[in-house]
Amino acid sequence: EDQVTQSPEALRLQEGESSSLNCSYTVSGLRGLFWYRQDPGKGPEFLFTLYSAGEEKEKERLKATLTKKESFLHITAPKPEDSATYLCAVRDNMEYGNKLVFGAGTILRVKS
């Protein structure tokens, strides 16, 4: 059974204090690992897709990396507007359709 575990559950940072979020996964055959950002009262907003170990994607202060067992979302010099819940999800090549298996998320708070 596919599993996605995110850590930590919550993270509090000072503005400018860089850190990383972890996403560990177990799938029979990875067809994509996805990172989403979710603001309170909103739906998840797509950030990145990673497909193979060693792949990296960047967007502003965010950088996502992928290994065979986990993914990291690195946040460099965060700002208060980066505060949100970050969700990780995987798509298994054994599943029909575009089903994503999600982790429970990491709640990030950045204080100025």
Chain residues that interact with another protein, rule: CB under 8 A? 4, 31-32, 34, 36, 41-46, 49, 87, 89, 96-105
* Tokens, residue 24: 């560990």
How far apart are the C-alpha atoms of 65 and 80, rounded to whole Å?
23
Amino acid code (one letter) for 109 = R
Least Å distance between CB 12 and another protein? 19
> Smallest distance, Å, CB 3 to another protein?
10
- Spatial distance between the Cα atoms of 57 and 74, rounded to a whole number of angstroms: 10
The nearest distance, CB 98 to another protein, in angstroms, is 4
**CB-nearer residue toward another protein: 23 or 78:** 23
